[in-house]
Every structure is written in structure tokens, then in C-alpha cells.
Amino acid sequence: MRDVTDADFEEQVLRAGKPVLVEFTATWCGPCRQLAPVLRSIAEEERERLDVVAIDVDANPETAARYGVLSMPTLMVFKAGEPVWSRVGARPKRRLLEELTEAV
């Protein structure tokens, strides 16, 4: 799992060759901290078919505004430059993997 910014979001997410799970996060967000180890684990296990990145909404407000992100954590899957799936809030790993199966 790596961090992206407003400056490299297009290159790292929108132009990616495979689906990308983006976590819109903030340093003050408790549920985001809970979700972090789940996302790191998914990033490792699913690295062949899915990239996982995080973007801090406070440091990168343009991207958050562009996609209408109002609550953290917001998770979005992007395919071919378009958001195809979105959920708000932390969730257990098993549930997240089940939900991602539909999107990826």
C-alpha cells in the first residue's frame, strides 16, 4: 500500500493498468487507523490483480472534492480511470474482500 497525492493521482490511479482501491483518509480519523492493517494485508494478498493506495484528504483536497468525498474512510475502486465502486466506513477484512469481488 502506498500514498498518492493530488499531483500524482492521475498517473498512479486513473492511468493504472489494473484496478486500484483508493482509501480517502485523514490522520485524525479513528476508523481509518482501524482499517489500515486490513488494507495493508489486502494490498499484499491481492497485489497481482489490485493496487491499494491511500490519499490524505486534508493534504490533498482537490481529489477528495472531485469525487465528492465527505466522510472518512471512503473506499473507491477505479478501473480504466473511472470510479466503479464506493463504500464509506471501516469494515472487517472478510467483508471487504467479498465486496471487492464484485468490483474487481
Are 2 and 53 in contact by the 8 Å Cβ rule? The answer is yes
**Pick the catalytic residue: 32, 54, 64, 75?**
32
Which of the following is catalytic: 13, 21, 22, 29? 29
Please indicate whether residue 32 is annotated as part of the active site. yes
Report how far residue 33's alpha carbon sits from residue 85's, in angstroms, rounded to the nearest whole number: 21
Whether 26 is catalytic is no
Point out the residues that are catalytic.
29, 32
